[in-house]
Structure 1
Amino acid sequence: MNEVLIGEVLRPHGLQGEVKVYPITRDPGRFTKLKEVILMKGAARLYLTLRSVRVLPDFVYLAFDGVESAEEAEKLRGWQIGIDRSEVPPLQEGWYYFELEGMKVYQRGVCLGTLVQVLATGANDVYVVKGERGEFCVPALKSVVRNVDVAGRRMDVELPPGLLED
């Protein structure tokens, strides 16, 4: 998957084809910098050009070229909105969740499995890893996560004693 999820169409808004969007991003203002988005539903993809963008505190309102009525906008309800990974601005420090998912996790050179999900718990993130021993959680702490190589798709960890023991 080359798309990065940034929102979901909730419903039509008004009569001119505008849609109300729930933003799935820390920076909803990013929508104002976009010219095109990818609407996704299952394997289906629609590449739509933005006609207008309005960003409010909790929602974003989008209008697309070619979507001119509430009836046409209704057909987009429930579609996810993404952008190509190449359009994601680089971070000054750290990494995006999508860059971690799919990464191999190692401890002392032994592959423990693949990072399949990042859980934001509030105190610290938790990485869900799936391997031969099933699923287990890795706390995203500096004392545990020793190295993250995004380009190499590898994470090195030093798990707390007892975390993987039967």
Structure 2
Amino acid sequence: MSDDLILVARVAGAFGVKGDVRITSFTADPMALVEYARLLRQDGSPGLTLTGGRPTKGGIIARVAEVQTREQAEALRGLQLFIPRDRLPAPEEDEFYLADLIGLAVETPAGEPLGQVKSVHDFGAGDLLEIQPAQGASWWLPFTREAVPEVRIADRKLVAVPPEEIE
């Protein structure tokens, strides 16, 4: 994935029989997807062009220029949708995008290195950080205030309380 693309949504499937598409939104305001309109694929190629939509739990039901049938909508299930980073508003002071966490150094509250944030995922139960140590297999850390008490974007690091099996 290009560093200048940010994941904003994923196609969840079809809605109804006229080709509407259910889209899970990863934006604070799901209707922002309709405002972005032109969404890209992970490689930067054209993805979907939203021509309208309405909010639903966890996302939107959208009309899409490239889709006319339920079967076409269903075939898009799982498609990840991106926008260029420069289309997002700048974060407020003391705020950040989850994509900003990737590549940050991870250390304990005592300053001992634990690794680097390799990726951020949400498998349905909240955000998880994949931590890659200098050597060995990566491990997962819940992105909660208890597990990650400090995020220092300007210092390019975060402070983490690792689970007992990692210590």
What band does the TM-score fall into relative to the shorter chain? 0.5 to 0.7
**TM-score (norm. length: structure 1):** 0.68
Q: 8 Å contact 1:39–1:82 — kept in the other structure?
A: yes
Q: Distance in 2 between matches of 1:20 and 1:158?
A: 36
Q: Aligned to 1:28, what secondary structure does the other structure show?
A: coil
Q: 8 Å contact 2:25–2:33 — kept in the other structure?
A: no
Identify the match of residue 141 of structure 1 among 112, 133, 149. Answer: 149
**TM-score (norm. length: structure 2):** 0.67
Q: Which runs of 5+ in 2 are unaligned?
A: none
1:118–1:33: structure 2 CA closer, same or farther, 3 Å change rule?
A: same
Amino acid at match of 1:17: G
Q: Distance in 1 between matches of 2:104 and 2:158?
A: 10
Q: Aligned to 1:91, what secondary structure does the other structure show?
A: coil
Q: 8 Å contact 2:106–2:160 — kept in the other structure?
A: no
User: Over aligned residues, Cα RMSD in angstroms?
Assistant: 3.6
The aligned residue for residue 21 of structure 2 is: 19
Q: Distance in 1 between matches of 2:121 and 2:75?
A: 31
Q: Distance in 2 between matches of 1:69 and 1:119?
A: 31
More strand by share: 1
Q: Which runs of 5+ in 1 are unaligned?
A: none
Q: 8 Å contact 1:127–1:140 — kept in the other structure?
A: no
Q: Give the CA deviation at 1:61.
A: 0.9
